[in-house]
Amino acid sequence: MNMQFAIAYSWPMPNARALIAVVDDEAAVRKAIARLISFAGYEVVTYGDGAQFMQSLALRRPQCVLLDLHMPVMGGAEVQARLAACGDPLPVIVITGQDSDQTRDRVLACGTSAFLRKPVDEQVLLDAIAVALSKGVGDPC
Amino acid sequence: MSWIDIAWPMMGGASLTLGLIHLVTWIQQHGRHERLIFAIAAFAVAILSVLELQAMRADSPDEHARVLRWGYLVLTPLMIAFPLFVRVRFRAGRLDLLVAFVVLRLLALVANFVGGANLSFTEIHAMLPVAAWGGAHVFVPIGTTNPWVVLAHVAVLLLIVFLFDAQREVRRRGDDDEYRAARRVCLGMIVFLLTAVGSAALITYGQLQLPFIVNPPFLAMLAIMSYELSSEVVRGAATAQRLSRSEAMLRESEQRSELAVQAARIATWSWCAADGQIALGDRGRELFGFAGAQQVDLERFLQRIHADDRECMRSVFDPTRQGEPHFECEYRVMHEDGSIHWVATRGRTQHDPNGLPVAVLGASLDVSRVREAEHESNQQRSELAHLARVATIGEMSASLAHELNQPLTAILANSQAALHLLGGGPEHRAELEETLVDIAASGKRAGEVIRRLRSMLTKSGPQHRPLDLNHVVSEVVQLYRSELINREVVVELELLPELPVVLGDRVQLQQVLLNLVINACDAMDHGGQGRCLSIATAIDPEGNALVSVRDLGGGIAADQLERVFEPFVTTKSDGMGLGLSVCRTLVREHGGRLWAMNHPGGGAVFQFTLPAQAL
């Protein structure tokens, strides 16, 4: 697995430098999404799987996480479960290719900010991030 | 007229008849010279019987002496005929004895004419009337014994030695039947010779007052010889009977084979190098599509065979072809109406001593129906494999959707980012370029997923090409990757880099592996010790490529290890139970073997072998 801890895209947008984490096992996907949202003025950090992301939380805490569900080592569902287990209020946006209604209901039931289906449109994604950020960032675990 | 006047002519007549019969037989059966010799002896005995009767009735010494002299003349060929008969019939007897005997007989004959009244007497003084048995009267000669008669007696002794020697020689050869015949003839001849010659000698030396009566013993000797010749006829008749019986059996067997050939609708044909024509029966003409009575030469015959299949049959008639005379060919026959028939032919080539084919015999059978059925069954198998593949693809549709979604997600996000970069001015050119490169890469990846999917769904028949099984394994894992992640199954690959290349259809082998992988994942859904799937490639002891797929599920009950390969046997609620049965068929069609077993460390292992491609 490609160990890509943090690739930050810089784009001049001084009024909003919120840090967004992108967690996806597919390098092409996480790079493209990171590239796209960096144009909206966010600082972006990417991870190849849930375990890497969980480890990174102690060092650098994002304001929102875009989370894929199917990943080796640790999938999105487990990340959410762990966050919930320690009461972490970090806003989570799930972006997945799995589009069954059961998955969606299960994901939304555990306090997920948004459930987006791949491929995701720019505007839908940015709106979901804006909503998530507006909920405010709670304390870390 | 006494009984003698009846008996002697009867003996003469009997001898004459026997002689004539054997003379005619000799003429018909050329080369059987013993019959000619017998005929001569019989004629001599016939003449002798007349002379003997005359001698008995002769009342003057002169007449008696004259009759006796002529009697000795006739006796000479008769006496020579006996040893000749033995020598010709049994190919036995010493030649030197025979020659000496003949010489002595001829000398005696000379003495008969020059040394007195005849060979017996130098002079006959008187004729003595004697009353014979049965009231008959005969005359007996009284005279002086001719000393030359000893020549005849010595000759008879030589003849007896010759006959003894001849039957001993035949005995040494070890053929019991032949020895019995030789003994019968030789000892019979000796007994009757002694009777005839002994009585004559006693009369000659005046010890016995009787007429010369040699005819009955000679007739007995003829009877012995005749018996020998006719037993040959009897043996010949028995042989002829056996021959005719075996001919009848042969005819019956021929009729039986003909019936079998007709019932089996087999067409027999033959080719003869001498005229170059193919001889076909009605069934053959029908099978090869030749009308009525038209002549069929080799070239016309071969032209009926489809050009692609002709070589096998042409080689049968090839003069340079050596060795195995039997042949077997299967080919298409094209009739003039355009219909095509599959024909199977078996046959045999006959070669001359130089090894050139002189004749070819063939039996041909229309096997079109068998071929059609085979073709149909192949097609059905191929369709079943395709259906199973479609079903498998259906099972992994979620995975495939995910596989397509990933590149599409990247493409969409990247192209929207590129639009921003386009509006951002020339300083973003480098990043724009990189983004476009990423889009292209994702597009290719999506294309690859579609290509794999299409090849799995293709309905075309199998195409066997050299394949690296490790590559097939990697492709299948890639195809099922997202499903594996989704099902939280960890894959361990242990691929042998030096795996031999196999000849196979990539899609079918992917199908087999995919089925085994999906089954392994399903097995681990229903309990077991973990969620690890191991796929390994190796070389088996016979040098075949071996692929093992192991799961950590609950394993398979021992009595089910074979049953799982039967069609419609399934443990899944949503499966048709065709997967493994189709897999086994596919592997078999590749010349390999697929089987299941339980791993000692838990879980089931499915293994299949494929023969390494011959280099």
Q: Residues B155-187: pLDDT tens digits?
A: 999 999 999 999 999 999 888 888 998 999 999
Residues paired with residue B139 on neighbouring β-strands, in sequence order: B129
- Report the candidate in B88, B82, B18, B85 with the shortest Cα–Cα distance to residue B230: B18
Of A31, A99, A121, the CB nearest to B438: A31
**pLDDT of residue A16 exceeding 60:** no
Q: Running DSSP on this structure, what letter comes out for residue B305?
A: B
A72 touches chain B (CB under 8 A): yes
Distance (Å) from the alpha carbon of B422 to chain A's nearest alpha carbon: 12
Taking 90 as the threshold, does the pLDDT of residue B495 lie above it?
yes
A31 and B410 within 8 Å at the Cβ level: the answer is yes
Pick the closest to residue A76 from A55, A93, A99, A101 (CA basis): A93
Res. B237: pLDDT tops 90: no
Q: Do A71 and B485 touch (CB under 8 A)?
A: yes
Contact list, A25 vs chain B (CB under 8 Å):
485
Q: How far is A75 from chain B (nearest CA, A)?
A: 9
Name the burial class of residue B609, with classes exposed (0-12), middle (13-18) and buried (19+) by CB atoms within 10 angstroms of its CB. buried
pLDDT at residue A140 above 70?
A: no
Q: What residues in A contact B420, CB-CB < 8 Å?
A: 39
- Asked whether the predicted pLDDT for residue B447 surpasses 60, the reply is yes
Q: Kindly report the number of other CB atoms within 10 A of residue A94's CB atom.
A: 26
The whole-angstrom separation of Cα B515 and Cα B393 is 10
Q: Using CA coordinates, name the residue in chain A closest to B406.
A: A29
Provide the pairing of β-strand B267-272 with B278-280.
Answer: antiparallel
Give yes or no for B407 touching A (CB within 8 A): yes
Residue B417 forms contact with A (CB below 8 Å)? yes
B417 and A35 within 8 Å at the Cβ level: the answer is yes
Question: For residue range B190-229, what is the model confidence (pLDDT) as tens digits?
Answer: 998 888 888 888 888 878 777 778 888 888 888 888 888 8
Q: Which chain B residue shows the shortest CA-CA distance from A120?
A: B409
Across A23-37, A97-111, B83-97, B250-264, least confident range = A97-111
Q: ipTM of the predicted structure?
A: 0.85
| Chain B CA closest to residue A26 | B406
**Is residue B263 predicted with pLDDT exceeding 90?**
no
Taking CB atoms and an 8 Å cutoff, what residues of chain B touch A28? 406-407, 410, 438, 441-442, 445
Which residues are B610's β-sheet partners? B545
- The answer to whether the CB atoms of B414 and A32 lie below 8 A apart is yes
Query: What is the pLDDT confidence band of residue B551, given thresholds at 50, 70 and 90?
Result: very high
What is the distance in angstroms between the Cα of B428 and the nearest Cα belonging to chain A? 11
Put residue B384 in one of left, alpha, beta given phi > 0 → left and psi -120 to 50 → alpha.
alpha
Minimum distance, in Å, between the CA of residue A27 and any CA atom of chain B: 9
Read off the pLDDT of residues B377-404 as tens digits, 9 standing for 90 and up: 877 777 777 888 788 777 777 777 878 8
The answer to whether the CB of B111 falls within 8 A of the CB of B119 is: yes
| Chain B residues closer than 8 Å to A95 by CB | 409
Q: With cut-offs at 50, 70 and 90, classify the pLDDT of residue A6.
A: very low
Residue A27 is predicted with a pLDDT of 92
Cα separation, B557 vs B567, in Å, equals 18
Q: Average pLDDT of B568-572?
A: 65
Task: List all residues 6 or more positions away from B14 whose beta carbon is below 8 Å from its beta carbon.
Answer: B219
The model's confidence at residue B86, banded by pLDDT at 50, 70 and 90, is very high
Give me the mean pLDDT over the A118-140 stretch: 83
- Which amino acid is present at B506? R
pLDDT-derived band at A32 (thresholds 50, 70, 90) equals: very high
| Of the candidate ranges A105-114, B204-213, B446-455, the one whose mean pLDDT is the lowest | B204-213
The predicted model gives B253-271 an average pLDDT of 86
Q: How many CB atoms lie within 10 A of CB B226?
A: 19
pLDDT in tens, B326-337: 889 999 999 988
> How far is it, in rounded angstroms, from Cα B204 to Cα B65?
12
Instruction: Tell whether B397 lies on the interface with A, counting CB pairs under 8 A.
Output: no
d(CA B360, CA B531): 68
pLDDT at A65: 95
Q: Name the pLDDT band for B97 (thresholds 50, 70, 90).
A: very high
- Chain B residues in contact with A68 (beta carbon < 8 A): none
| pLDDT higher at B9 or B208 | B9
- Number of cross-chain residue pairs from A and B with Cβ atoms under 8 Å apart: 75
Any chain B CB within 8 A of the CB of A31?
A: yes
Whether residue B470 is predicted with pLDDT greater than 80 in this model: the reply is yes
Which one is predicted more confidently, B134 or B106? B106
Residues of chain A with C-beta less than 8 angstroms from the C-beta of B435: 35
The tokens describing A3, both together, are 């160990």
Residues of A in contact with B412 (CB under 8 A): 32, 119-121
Measure the CA–CA gap between A18 and A42, rounded to whole angstroms: 5
**Predicted local confidence at residue B265, as pLDDT:** 85
- Alpha-carbon B78 to chain mean position: 55
Which of A11, A29, A44 best tests the B interface by mutation, with the highest count of B CBs <10 A?
A29
Query: Whole-number mean pLDDT of chain B?
Result: 87
- A139–chain B nearest CA distance, Å: 31
Asked if the model's pLDDT at residue B469 lies above 70, the reply is yes
* B606 pLDDT higher than 60: yes
Who has greater pLDDT, B479 or B429? B429
pLDDT at A24: 93
What is the pLDDT at residue B615? 65
Does the beta-carbon distance from A119 to B445 stay under 8 Å?
A: no
pLDDT at B547 over 70: yes
Predicted confidence band of residue A8 (pLDDT cuts 50, 70, 90): very low
Q: Which of B397, B400, B406, B408 to mutate to test the interface with A (most CBs of A within 10 A)?
A: B406
* pLDDT > 90 fraction of chain B, expressed in percent and rounded: 34
Instruction: Give the amino acid at A76.
Output: G
3-state secondary structure of B363: strand
The residue in chain B having the minimum alpha-carbon distance to the alpha carbon of residue A77 is: B486
Q: How do B532-539 and B490-494 pair as beta strands? A: parallel
Cα distance from B405 to chain A (closest Cα, Å)? 6
